[in-house]
Structure 1
Amino acid sequence: MEIVLIIAVVIALAVGLALVGLLDRRPAPPKHAYPEVRDADDPEPGGSHAAVLEQDPDTAAAVDQDVDGTPVEEEAAEPQVQLERPEAAGTRLQRLRARLLKSNNVFGKGLLALLSRDTIDEEVWDEVEETLLMADLGTEPTLELVERLRDRVRVEGTQDADQVRAMLREELLTMVDPSMDRRLEASRKGDRPAITMVVGVNGVGKTTTVGKLARVLVAEDRRVVLGAADTFRAAAAEQLATWGARVGVDTVRSEKEGADPASVAFEAVDEGIRQEADVVLVDTAGRLQNKANLMDELGKIKRVIEKRGEVDEVLLVLDATTGQNGLNQAKVFAEVVDVTGIVLTKLDGTAKGGIVVAIQRELGVPVKLVGLGEGPDDLAPFTAEGFVDALLAE
């Protein structure tokens, strides 16, 4: 009986060993077709907890296939943003002159008609004076121009339309003053960019003007950085960033409404230095509740900027349709900051051409840029000759 039990155990062991051998000869299950992703909580050999993507070299080709073996299409690359190419200055000037002619032809034609009469008496001179005043030329410039025209008509004694036009052109050109330096500071100053502050009250199109000015500079192949230092108007920074993005210009801004504008301006200049930009344009808030607040804010922005570099240009944006009210605004800003140039917007429509002379006389600084429309490239460098010729063209 004991012999029978021993034989049974031996047989059982033999069968068991045979089964184990068969199992060892089965093919190993295939590795998964997708790379192993280590859990973020699993420590790396170096001690980090970053997610790591591991891939078996034998199954690398399988990564681009779905479970059923269907090739997985590669994700389409994001389309590149097509940057706009702004118009060159020459094209702008031709179009702007045409619009100026259309909106101000009453000014030129009225004067030419008066000065071409057979008899020019005191009544005619009164009408000439009234026409000039209505064109926003200002009282002092009007009296000066009428006096000079009187002298020339008395000496030359002509009513020929062409001669009168030539005479009027010469006198108006003298009033607009072609000798004024209307160049923009738009070149690097040693190891830093030129720095321009743009100031003006809300509603004159200041932020839009900064965006359009960036386009003028980009058209001249200048590298530009924008600073959205108008932090008190929620839409200002977004609006400026949109203008910049259209032509590939970076905008430095604060995500926090009401942030310190001087800090944003400082960071914009720093970014301009880092990018080796040609120009940094800083948009500022346009609040004019009282002169003291304005002086404090603009003064602080300028002082903080000048820790990194001198402010080379302060452009004052004025709405040409506001007439004498615009002059009053200009006086306040001129007392607060050292204005170096005027940007005159909305010179089409109801604006009067004489405002150019009045502003320059009042502030002693030149009009450097003019805007004559709502288009992105409806801002152009101002030229005295082009302006006067547009006023007197038929």
Structure 2
Amino acid sequence: MTATVSDELRELAPQVLSILIRRYGRFDACEDAVQEALLAAALQWPAEGVPDSPRGWLVTVAARRLADQFRSDDARRRRELTVAQLDAAAVTDAVPERDDTLTLLFLCCHPALSAASQLALTLRAVGGLTTAQIASAFLVPEATMAQRISRAKAKIRSAGARFAPPPPAERPARLEVVLQVLYLIFNEGYTASSGDDLQRGDLTAEAIRLTREVHRLLPADREVAGLLALMLLTDARRPARARPDGTLVPLAEQDRSRWLRPMVDEGVALISRTLPQGPPGPYQLQAAIAAVHDEAPSAGDTDWPQILGLYQLLARVAPSPVVTLNHAVALAMVQGPRAGLHMLEALDGDERMAGHHRLAAVRAHLLEMAGSAAQAREWYLRAAERTTSRPERRYLEARAAALIA
């Protein structure tokens, strides 16, 4: 299958699924039928050519798959009317132009689902990825991921979720979940949580594509724009983040000539338009921090006082252990490593962070900055033991080895 066909199918998948769910309900049955239609297109279109109405073709094929499925059910008599309706839909070219991708995202990020299920279902139903691709991305067996997706669809059904936008009062909270899921997908792609690869370009690209789609549907939402800008500004550094052997290259040591300048320019322009429009949210603030880093010609030219000010604001708007961790680094760059180390002490009693490799790695880095080589080496080794990412482990072990007296 050509890249062009693959890209088109991935873009059409949520639109087709939205049409079927809106017409007939049954999320699980519709989703299975769409996957079969996508497979048929992947096999036929490269050889026979893309039809004049690709979306209509996919709707027709998926609707026929649904009709076949309903005919084989034991309760066929009770579904004769549904089958007749499906047959009528299968032969018509009248496919509505309405785009329900955002409604589908809200459904996949239903609060009844766990975060892991929201991730998996979003990638399958909205991203168009196969179960095997999702399983590979999260390093679990395909059968395990298939069960997770099946349970998610069953839970949506048992929760009585309807294919409709959430009520206005619930919309901000539900949109917040959608953005969090997209950000989690991006983060897993940008720094894989485990395995041999430091990053997965397929996941970051998919997260950016889906966030672009949400931004297209909600162009006035400043946090959506902020998340898109943050992804672009962060992913622009991807070519410089690893050496040919896969070794991690920290931000301060990256060859900035390898950064993807068009992505940097787009991200900076997006956040520059967004920030003046009102009080910034957490994604806008993180994007602003990323923009300060990306606009610096070299690591030495980074405007750390500005970054520190942004982290101080972010800590008020959206406090979290990760924000505190990054805030400590910015503080160390402005006021010295001992100030940063003092801030880290607040995280030692936080169960979410105390055993995490990132806390140990940051403490090691600040101790190294402070000239405490022996202590820094000890904490680098602790961080290496705690991480499940092999590229990160190799990097941390190398930093520890460089501090041997």
**Normalising by structure 2, what TM-score?**
0.23
The structure whose residues are more often helix, as a share, is 2
The structure whose residues are more often strand, as a share, is 1
Higher-RCO chain (CA-CA 8 Å, sequence separation at least 6) = 1
Structure number with larger C-alpha Rg: 1
